[in-house]
Amino acid sequence: MKDLIELIAKKLVSHPEDVQVRVIDRDDGQAYELRVHPEDMGKIIGKNGRTAKALRTLLNSAASKQDVRANLQIGDE
């Protein structure tokens, strides 16, 4: 799932070399922290948060197939 987030994010941003995905294991599942260049935050979040919501939907769909819970947190460097 980490690779999925990273692949999609790199295709969306202008600075793909600054895309970082970190996995945080929790009791209730896994959290994924996506970090991008500050100039690319708008591209990742999208208009009214639609792109971020789509990323979270894809992540939750992939996680449900593996019977785990997943959460996506988005931030800049």
Quote the pTM value: 0.86
Domain CATH for 21: 3.30.300.20
Domain count, the chain: 1
What domain range is 43 assigned to?
2-76
Radius of gyration of the CA atoms of the chain, in A:
12
- Report pLDDT for 77: 63
Bridge partners of residue 70, in order along the sequence: 30
Render pLDDT for 25-50 as a digit per residue (tens, 0 to 9): 988 889 999 999 999 999 999 999 99
Output the CA angle 46-50-54, nearest 5 degrees: 115
- The per-residue b/e assignment along 26-48, b for 16 or more CB within 10 angstroms, e otherwise, is eeeebebebbbbeebeeebbeee
